């Protein structure tokens, strides 16, 4: 009996996110059908799937911003509302208003607002947390810049810094790699690596299968339902990708790297 308990798969306590029988959508059309998965604590997991496969919807359900029709989702074994301060979200860069008159430090400070609660103003401790987060992502020198003056890679690192200032243990990132050049991508992936080393859990919605294959611990292949989950090399087989992408995604091995290529472009 005792041995069995030790061998019990790490679902409830060791899962940063776990979902079962999850249905969700808008109006009457389902965007997620009977979704079941779990994200282990301390892992970097890529959430991949074609456009309209429900990636953003799934992130919203995990965040508690969209109520599921059926099923349950838990974050660190609890309802997200009980652990909201431990969860941070970074939206797609194209949905952020980069002309908004705030500085880099202002946005990172917003990560502190949830913990501060109403009526309290940021104090010395909060400013220290902001400073630490900016240093960790390498933006300390740019703290006074208006956010529109940042490059794409710097913008993403600023959004990650906001999550760090919040002291979040789980980061949900929506398409952080879009529009970044190779060196900016590598900087961001190095940062992910560093965060995993600190025990953080990252769930990253992305179109970039190559990044997931090379740098992430696991992949969740989504097309309204979970097509496959597991280590990237187990998930990114031509057969499973065909199932998710309807044979529009081809695997192209080039010089030892494997690239996921959209068929219509290739």
Partner 1 sequence: MADLWSWLSEPYQFAFMQRALMALVIVSIVSSVIGAFVVLKGLAFIGDAVAHASFAGVAAAFVMGASIYIGAVVAGVLTALAIAFVSRRARLSFDTSIGIIFVGAFALGIVIISRENRYTVDLFSFIFGSILGVGRDDLLLIAVVGLIVVGLIAIFYKELLYTSYDATMAAASGIPVALMQYGLLALLALSAVVALKVVGIVLVVAMLVTPAATASLLVRRVPLVMLLGALVGIVASTVGLYISYYAEVASGASVVLVATALFALALVFAPRRGLLATWTQVPAGQL
Q: Which chain residues interact with partner 1 by CB under 8 A? A: 63, 65, 84-85, 87-91, 95-97, 100-103, 106-107, 110-111, 113-114, 116, 118-119, 121-122, 146, 148-149, 162, 166
In angstroms, what is the minimal distance from the CB of 90 to partner 1? 8
CB of 32 or CB of 171, closer to partner 1 = 171
In angstroms, what is the minimal distance from the CB of 84 to partner 1? 5
Q: What is the 3-state secondary structure (H, E, C) of the chain?
A: CHHHHHHCCCCCCCEEEEEEEEEEEECCEEEEEEEEEEEECCCEEEEECCCCCCHHHHHHHHHCCCCCCEEEEEECCECHHHCHHHEEEECCHHHCCCCCCCEHHHHHHHHHHHHHCCCCCCCHHHHHHHHHHHHHCCCHHHCCCEHHHCCHHHHHHHHHHHHHHCCCCEEEEECCCCCCCHHHHHHHHHHHHHHHHCCCEEEEECCCHHHHHHHCCEEEEEECEEEEEECHHHHCCHHHHHHHHCCCEEEEEECCEEEEEECCCC
In angstroms, what is the minimal distance from the CB of 146 to partner 1? 4
CB of 63 or CB of 250, closer to partner 1 = 63
CB of 61 or CB of 219, closer to partner 1 = 61
In angstroms, what is the minimal distance from the CB of 262 to partner 1? 26
CB of 83 or CB of 221, closer to partner 1 = 83
In angstroms, what is the minimal distance from the CB of 6 to partner 1? 36
CB of 173 or CB of 227, closer to partner 1 = 173
């Amino acid at each position: 009996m005792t041995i069995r308990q030790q061998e019990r798969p790490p679902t409830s306590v060791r899962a940063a996110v776990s979902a079962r029988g999850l249905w969700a959508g808008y109006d009457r059309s389902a965007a997620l059908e009977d979704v079941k998965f779990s994200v282990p604590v301390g892992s970097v997991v890529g959430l991949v799937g074609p456009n309209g496969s429900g990636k953003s919807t799934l992130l919203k359900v995990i965040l508690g911003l969209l109520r599921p029709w059926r099923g349950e989702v838990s974050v660190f074994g609890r309802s997200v509302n009980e652990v909201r301060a431990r969860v941070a979200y970074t939206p797609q860069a194209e949905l952020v208003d980069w002309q908004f008159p705030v500085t880099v430090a202002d946005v990172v400070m917003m990560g502190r607002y949830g913990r501060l609660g109403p009526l309290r103003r940021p104090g010395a401790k909060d400013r220290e947390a902001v400073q630490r987060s900016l240093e960790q992502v390498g933006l300390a020198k740019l703290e006074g810049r208006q956010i529109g003056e940042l490059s794409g890679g710097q913008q993403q690192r600023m959004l990650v810094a906001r999550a760090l200032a919040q002291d979040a243990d789980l980061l949900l990132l929506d398409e952080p790699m879009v529009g970044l050049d190779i060196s900016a991508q590598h900087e961001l992936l190095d940062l992910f690596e560093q965060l995993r080393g600190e025990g953080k859990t990252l769930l990253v919605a992305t179109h970039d299968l190559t990044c997931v294959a090379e740098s992430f611990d696991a992949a969740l292949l989504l097309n309204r339902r979970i097509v496959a989950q597991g280590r990237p090399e187990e998930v990114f087989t031509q057969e499973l990708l065909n199932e998710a992408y309807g044979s529009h995604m081809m695997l192209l091995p080039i010089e030892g790297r494997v690239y996921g290529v959209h068929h219509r472009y290739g």
